[in-house]
Structure 1
Amino acid sequence: MTPVCDPKVQAAFDAFPAPAQAAAMVLRKLIFNEAAQDPRIGPLTETLKWGQPAYLTATTKSGTTLRLGVPKTGGCAIYAHCATTVISRYAQAFADLDNVEGNRAVHFATAQDIAPDRIALLIRHALTYHL
């Protein structure tokens, strides 16, 4: 697992409630795993956007930003830019399998609610969105 290098990002994760933090760490690992599988993605930049851990393809510009956060309803969510088709295409492909918030996020109550194979497709789509 890639360690969190930015203390501000670590502080953001530390501020998550324990169940949300566990889910966020699962999603974070999937993000880094997907990036490592495709050399076109290149290295990821882990930073904060809107106070949330965010993942950018700053070197290659191959993808759109993904963010991890705690929605008002609780749990954890993976967010993509709402002007992209990342979430809407995921929702079409996997209708009614996850808690999708419009065209901006997929929510998970716990880490056990994350289907790694399914969410990896969303992550791969986001990280290669501009290719």
Structure 2
Amino acid sequence: MSKPAKRIAAKQRIAAKASGEVEAVFNGYPKPLKARLLALRRLIFQTAKATPGVGALQETLKWGQPSYLTPETKSGSTIRIDRVKSAANQYAIYFHCQTDLVETFRGLYPTEFSYGGNRCILFDASDKFREAALRHCVALALTYHLNKRKTARAR
């Protein structure tokens, strides 16, 4: 087997392992939260597919949470989703706390979402999330580094 073929096979084994581990995490959630988190997952993948410059997403676990990265293009900041441990009926979408993403979301959507400091957007399992606004926030996260590079070149 050639070196490139070996690398591809190794990446496929890693992806399959990550996929099984991520699936196990989703299966461990209570039904109402699992359904909401899977809907959030679909929204993340759909948004990535529809957003120019993002490329393929990698789904893996970070800190035991389903996480979404842009390794192909390095266009975005990692997005994580999980239940809120301190509130049985809440879940969240987490962003890197050293970015200005949540601050940006708060400025764009001050009343549409509840926020957890500079880390996340919070949701109640009994409520539907605001899809268009959330897609915009996810697109901004998935293009965070791409937009920073464009801003730096423009200076």
Whether 2:62 is the aligned partner of 1:28: answer no
Select which of 87, 102, 110 maps to 2:125: 110
Aligned-pair CA distance for 1:61: 0.3
The TM-score with structure 1 as length reference comes to 0.91
Partner of 1:73: 87
Q: CA contact under 8 A between 2:58 and 2:71: conserved in structure 1?
A: yes
Select which of 81, 97, 102 maps to 1:82: 97
The AA in structure 2 aligned to 1:93 is L
Q: CA contact under 8 A between 1:13 and 1:21: conserved in structure 2?
A: yes
Work out which structure has the larger RCO, using CA pairs closer than 8 Å and 6 or more positions apart in sequence. 1
Residue segments in structure 2 that go unaligned for 5+ positions in a row: 1-15, 147-155
Count of aligned residue pairs for this structure pair: 128
Runs of 4+ deviating beyond 6 Å: none
Q: What secondary structure sits across from 2:121 in the alignment?
A: strand
**Higher helix fraction (1 or 2):** 2
What value does the CA root-mean-square deviation take over the aligned residues?
A: 1.5
Q: How does 1:1-131 map to 2 (within 5 A)?
A: 6-71=19-84, 72-74=86-88, 75-110=90-125, 112-131=127-146
The TM-score with structure 2 as length reference comes to 0.78
Aligned-pair CA distance for 1:51: 0.1
Aligned-pair CA distance for 1:111: 6.4
Specify the structure having the higher radius of gyration (Cα). Answer: 2
| Alpha-carbon distance between aligned partners in 2 of 1:63 and 1:20, rounded to the nearest angstrom | 26
| Alpha-carbon distance between aligned partners in 1 of 2:87 and 2:114, rounded to the nearest angstrom | 11
Residue segments in structure 1 that go unaligned for 5+ positions in a row: none
Aligned-pair CA distance for 1:45: 0.2
- The 1:111/1:11 distance shift into structure 2, 3 A limit, reads farther
